[in-house]
Amino acid sequence: MTYDELIPVIRRLALEAGDKIMEIYEADDFDVKAKSDASPVTEADEAADALISDGLRAAFPDMMLVTEEQAASHTQSGSTFLIVDPLDGTKEFINRRGDFTVNIALVEDGVPTRGVVYAPAKGRMFFTGADGRTVEETGALHKDTPGDLRPLSVSTPDNGALMVVASKSHRDQATDDYIGKYSVKDSKSAGSSLKFCLVATGEADLYPRLGRTMEWDTAAGHAVLAGAGGKVVRFDTHEPLTYGKDGFANPFFIAYAPGVDLKDA
């Protein structure tokens, strides 16, 4: 598998999954179930997961694949794999707030190197090219041919007036206390992996996450941010966030534009 082979496939699958998700989102009603950890799952999660995983297995049968909705894939181990969150921001989807995304990423030696984040309700598409650089695709999103591509680059932060983005559904006092250590010009909330993308576009400088996440929640956004010059580090040590961990659970982390004067926990 080469990057030139990978990128068109994951971009197309993200768009196809987005179409399936929006069919269900725009229906009068849809089924919501609770998973074993009490988190919600909808028929849109399951339909998008099946579409993406089938497409990836057909295109890259020899590549390890981890997806949120297929528990059997969580028992695999390795440091190089494809990883999928077919519908990140399920609570945003259920509440019809639009801040949900399709996420597909390639992790190599524990590092997310290529990825796509697609927000179908917002019509925003972010992905890394074969060269590893991140673009936002604008205009009509055709499945076979990319449209207008805008190269992305993180901001040059002003530590006296930072732009901060935090979780819309999971923001808590600990997060607010940490943000309070910075000189903040403005703070906004966003759902799903869009927070990584807002740092990638320069719309935000800093995204701290003091809450539970899994690798499929973050890998694609991490790749998108890295391709725009950003970084993602552990909250406790400020060392790079790595992937392929036992159980695929993440520690708390900070995503940011280099130049932000990171504060200790």
Is 68 labeled as ligand-binding? yes
Is 90 labeled as ligand-binding? yes
Pair type for strands 162-167 and 184-190: parallel
Order across the sheet with 206-209: list the strands.
Answer: 184-190, 162-167, 206-209, 253-256, 231-234
Beta bridge partners of residue 233, listed in sequence order: 240, 254
Residue 172 CB neighbour total at 10 angstroms: 11
Residue that is written with structure tokens 């068109």 in the block: 8
In a 3-state reduction of DSSP, which class is residue 231? strand
Residue 235 CB neighbour total at 10 angstroms: 18
Is 88 labeled as ligand-binding? yes
Q: How many Å apart are CA 198 and CA 48, to the nearest integer?
A: 24
Is 217 labeled as ligand-binding? yes
Residues contacting residue 214 through CB under 8 Å, at least 6 positions apart: 68, 85, 248, 249, 250
The helix (H) or strand (E) run that includes residue 57 is helix 43-59
Is 89 labeled as ligand-binding? yes
Is 101 labeled as ligand-binding? no
The angle, 0 to 180 degrees and rounded to 10, between the axes of the packed helices 215-227 and 194-201 is 10
| Binding-site residues from annotation for Mg(2+) | 68, 85, 87-88, 217
| Binding-site residues from annotation for substrate | 68, 87-90, 217
| Binding-site residues from annotation | 68, 85, 87-90, 217
